[in-house]
Amino acid sequence: MDMDKLVSLCKRRGFIFPSSEIYGGINGFWDYGPLGVELKRNIKDAWWNDNVRGRDDMVGLDCAIIMHPKVWEASGHVGGFSDPMVDCRECKGRFRADQVTVVCLHSTEDKLPIDSAEQFWFSGLGEIHDVQTDNAKELDKARRKLRGNPTETWYKLSEWVNEPEYARFPCPTCRKQGTLTEPRSFNLMFESHTGAVADEGSKVYLRPETAQGIFANFRNVVDTTRLKMPFGIAQVGKSFRNEINPRNYTFRSREFEQMEIEYFCHPDESDEWYAYWRKARFQWYVNLGLKSEKLRLRDHDKEELAFYSRATADIEYEFPFGVSELEGIAHRSDYDLNQHQKFSGKDLTYFDEDRWERDKARLGLTAFKDYLKQRSQEPNPGYPYQYIPHVVEPSAGADRATLAFLCEAYTEDEVGGEPRTVLKFHPRIAPIKAAVFPLVKKDGMPEIAEKIYRELKKHANVFYDEKGAIGRRYRRQDEAGTPFCITVDSQTLAGDTVTIRDRDSCRQWRVAASGIVQAIGDLLEGRPAAGSL
């Protein structure tokens, strides 16, 4: 699939526009147009319905984007949410050190590349070994020069420790050697100030993730609901990161939306819950249409894990620009609540009443305080009845999901010998669910079609169109990803039936006009349409 074609379709049909386009745009920011906003909203609604409303163990939150700055100290974002960056003094490019790959070729006889007479250095942006797509010709030339028997060593710039060789790295963009600066930390949080005076004391941050609002409200949710462990708190909302290299369309933006769950559970059960969410979240994308082999689950190696994390997996999708992360599922242990307990001084432990009631007779006790007394010398005397819960965090991006669904849906095929572009969205996320057309703009057909449209509009987002040839109207809806088109024609006038056309197969069949709401409802739910003739 050609990414440029998708980008152009998205612009042309009103899915996604560059933000502030009339002023030349602003890098890393995007606006969703009339079709895009419906698509993204449907994705967020599907996520909310499946993960929050459809479950008994989940509630939602909608927290402020600007929170107390201490939240970000506790979370580690003030101290650590930074990328090591390198600048090119020549072309002024700025790159994330972990995204620059360096290749060194030298003849196999040489033990150390630094001392080798014949050595060649290349660099590029991207994953190890992918970088060759940029440098393929030069790499091959160097391999031949080394008589086809070179040693090739591939490095990430961020892993580089051997300083003297730094000057040999070429810039990944302009390819000039020795122009890259040493990596320097760059915090990704956007800063602002509250109140009239902009000084250190009034500094605040635009949240870089929605997760911390959930942790900061953990006590509030426990105290105001009847939720018992295990339970989850979900939030969908904007996050902001001053990404150094916003790129790949909406994939890495500076303003984006996250859909995050913090699932709190007993420490003894957290591994099971991690396994559950790892599987459940993968299946969610499959159910909504990311069926192809382009979707995969990648477990992090031990070295990749944060020190507090017991396990993490990424759900990855093979975008046209490479395999990249859609969502992360992390077992974060009790790290976050512990941090907030430490920084806020508030008690964030949970008393597991059910567990205590179940066990107290067996322990020969009636009051929990006696249990605490018995174990007062223990480091964690309340355990396993009073504890800081462990958390499993499935953290998804609404914009990345939207982009993946767009990429997956984009199809070029032929209908009646004519090429067509169609977005084959799952009906649940399709921006427009059905379009209603009168075949011609006369003989009372528009009136009947409009009546059907008004009726359907009470139930779903539908579209009415009476302009242009019917074939062109179908094509426009194919490009918008509308799963069904309903046409009022001369047979409607004679026999009160209309046609339904299926977007993917282009098959058409008739249903009773009076049963169209039921028929479209069935089709959108994946059932055969009631009243098909």
Provide the minimum distance between the beta carbon of 314 and ligand GAP in the complex, in angstroms, as a whole number: 7
Alpha carbons 399 and 252: distance in angstroms, whole number: 9
97-136 residues in contact with ligand GAP (CB under 6 A) are none
User: How many Cα atoms sit within 13 Å of 58 on the Cβ side?
Assistant: 16
**If binding means CB under 6 A, how many residues of this protein chain bind ligand GAP?**
19
**Closer of 198 and 280 to ligand GAP (Cβ):** 280
Provide the minimum distance between the beta carbon of 396 and ligand GAP in the complex, in angstroms, as a whole number: 5
Contact 292, 313 (CB under 8 A): no
User: Measured at CB, which residue is nearest to ligand GAP?
Assistant: 397
Contact segment (CB under 6 A) with ligand GAP among 156-164, 294-302, 397-405, 415-423 equals 397-405
237-276 residues in contact with ligand GAP (CB under 6 A) are 241, 243, 252-253, 256, 258, 260
316 contacts ligand GAP (rule: CB under 6 A)? no
Contact segment (CB under 6 A) with ligand GAP among 5-13, 83-91, 392-400, 408-416 equals 392-400
Q: 38, 209, 478, 479: which one contacts ligand GAP (CB under 6 A)? A: 209
Buried b (16+ CB within 10 A) or exposed e, 354-365: ebbeeebeeeee
Alpha carbons 430 and 13: distance in angstroms, whole number: 14
Provide the minimum distance between the beta carbon of 506 and ligand GAP in the complex, in angstroms, as a whole number: 34
**Closer of 243 and 359 to ligand GAP (Cβ):** 243
**Closer of 252 and 428 to ligand GAP (Cβ):** 252
CB-based contacts of 13-18 (< 8 A; 24+ apart in sequence): 13/479, 13/480, 15/39, 15/406, 16/249, 16/250
320-349 residues in contact with ligand GAP (CB under 6 A) are 325-328
What element of type H or E holds 106?
strand 100-107
Contact 487, 498 (CB under 8 A): yes
Q: 180, 211, 229, 452: which one contacts ligand GAP (CB under 6 A)? A: 211
Burial class (CB in 10 A: 0-12, 13-18, 19+), 292: exposed
What element of type H or E holds 445?
helix 445-457
DSSP state of 6: H
Please report, as a single letter, which amino acid is at residue 255.
E
Binding mask 282-311 for ligand GAP (x = CB under 6 A): ------------------------------
**Closer of 173 and 402 to ligand GAP (Cβ):** 402
**Closer of 177 and 185 to ligand GAP (Cβ):** 185
Provide the minimum distance between the beta carbon of 269 and ligand GAP in the complex, in angstroms, as a whole number: 21
Distances (CA, A) of 180 to 106, 219, 242: 22, 48, 21
Instruction: By CB under 6 A, name the binding residues for ligand GAP.
Output: 209, 211, 241, 243, 252-253, 256, 258, 260, 325-328, 393, 395-397, 399-400
